[in-house]
Amino acid sequence: MITEIIYFNVFVILGATIVAIAIGLSKLLATRKPSEAKLEVYECGNIHVTGDPRIQFKIHYYIFALLLVIFDVEMIFVFPWAVVFKSLGLFAFIEMVVFIAILMLGLFYAWRKGVMKWV
């Protein structure tokens, strides 16, 4: 038990050291020649910026994207389950029904709140 903790601590310290060395070397060896062209804002291929680049977006679009990610992650869980469905049994089927019911409840809540309206 103690040796496992020691191995874990050595692994964490070694990993943190490697990351610190890599970041330090990149800061030390990187060339820094800022020019006016490099410091300009680059906007979708347009060299000359029109307007303020710091505009506000509606939070609605972010929530819509989060819902997309949630349901993509659902498919990551459902697909392997469906592949081995026959060998899992009734308990796994009930668990998946509960999982999908919880997600559908969340989808229904988002729908009632108007998140699914694009405009």
CATH of domain 2-113: 1.20.58
Q: Residue 43 carries which DSSP code?
A: B
Contact between residue 66 and residue 73 where contact means Cβ atoms under 8 Å apart: no
The residue type of 87 is S
Instruction: Look up residue 37 and give its two tokens.
Output: 């062209």
Please compute the mean of the pLDDT values over residues 8-31 and round it to a whole number. 95
pLDDT in tens, 20-76: 999 999 999 988 888 887 777 666 666 666 677 677 777 777 787 888 888 888 888
Domain boundaries, the chain: 2-113
Spatial separation of the C-alpha atoms in residues 96 and 102, rounded to whole Å? 10
Please compute the mean of the pLDDT values over residues 3-12 and round it to a whole number. 94
Instruction: Look up residue 52 and give its two tokens.
Output: 């303020």
CA atoms within 13 A on the CB side of 100: 12
Spatial separation of the C-alpha atoms in residues 89 and 75, rounded to whole Å? 20
Spatial separation of the C-alpha atoms in residues 20 and 17, rounded to whole Å? 5
The alpha carbons of the chain give a radius of gyration, in whole angstroms, of 25
- pLDDT tier at 115 (50, 70, 90 boundaries)? confident
